[in-house]
Homo-oligomer: A and B are copies of this chain.
Amino acid sequence: MMRNSIFSKLCIHTITTKPWSIEEAITNYAAASIAGISVWRNTLEGRNIKAIGDQIRSHGLEVTSLARGGFFPSTDPAKRLLAIEDNLRAIDEAYALGAPIIVLVCGADPTQSLATSRLQIQDGLHQVLPHAQAAGVKLAIEPLHPMYAGDRSAINTLAQATDMSISLQSEWVGVALDVYHVWWDPHLESEIARCGASGKLLAFHICDWKVNTTDLLNDRGLMGEGCIPVHQIRTWVNQTGFTGLEEVEIFSNHYWSMDQSEYLQKIKIAYQNSFQQNKSDI
């Protein structure tokens, strides 16, 4: 273990190395001296979740978060109830795993207005927060890029996520910030400061935006491959006093198709290089 190495704050989401099972991810991340793992629920199917949590910790890895809950809005009240139940289950899973945070993709129903979807998100969070508090699990609203406003999330800016987490008046809800979703925001620096100052900044995800993105979902880049000023944003995040891990979350058909051990080495190199500011003017 190399807790004082440059990788001592590096966490990887299991979806980043999607071809690996949770067991393979644990073994390979630990062997590569990665500090943390964010676990996607699909990898837990058919597993004893508590045993997976123990296995992660026995390999010296930190469980950073469970991904993902949310998807609250629907015009159909029965579906909204199912979403509540699913989020309660996610909280139980996070508790069993020992994950302190659940990342939320809040949802949107394209057949109703964004304003209505936002009210349903607020209501859904309100309903599940007592269970989150009882389990000691925090819920992190992830603002999603506006290109996902159609059906993935009606929360599309950091300001919205911060405002909603403040309005819920619970220390068990906060924000997960992903550079991919927010890098374009003209108010990003001040909004990161505000989110941090209000005690709501719970998680920090990194990757890159490729200039010639070919797929809205699965064409994210490694840090340095695109135009996101990752180090600049990291600096703003750290200035708030954020001490959490930095989570690499990359959906990429390209990277999923390559040898995942080679890819893991690429991630480490890209992470290391991301500390070199590559844009002189920012």
A261 touches B (CB below 8 Å): no
Chain B residues positioned under 8 Å from A160 (CB to CB)? 186
| Identical chains in the assembly | 2
State which residues 258-282 of A face B: CB under 8 Å.
279, 281-282
**Smallest CB gap from A186: residue in B:** B160
Given A114-B186, A145-B146, A184-B146, CB of A211 within 8 Å of CB of B282: no
The interface stretch among A8-16, A42-50, A149-157, A191-199 is: A149-157
From B149, B151, B216, B229, give the contact of A216 (CB < 8 A).
Answer: B216
- Bound state CA distance, A112 and B118, in angstroms? 34
Alpha-carbon distance between A160 and B159 when the two chains are bound, in angstroms: 16
* In contact, A150 and B114 (Cβ under 8 angstroms): no
Complex: A214 Cα to B219 Cα, angstroms:
12
Asked if residues B150 and A281 are in contact (CB atoms below 8 Å), the reply is no
Listed in ascending order, the chain A residues whose CB lies under 8 Å from chain B are 110-116, 118, 145-147, 149-151, 156-157, 159-160, 183-186, 209-211, 213-214, 216, 226-227, 229, 232, 279, 281-282
11 A/B residue pairs, CB under 8 Å, sorted by A: A111-B227, A112-B282, A113-B282, A114-B184, A115-B282, A146-B147, A146-B184, A149-B209, A157-B186, A159-B186, A160-B186
Closest 8 CB pairs of A and B: A110-B227, A149-B184, A113-B282, A146-B184, A150-B211, A147-B147, A110-B211, A116-B281
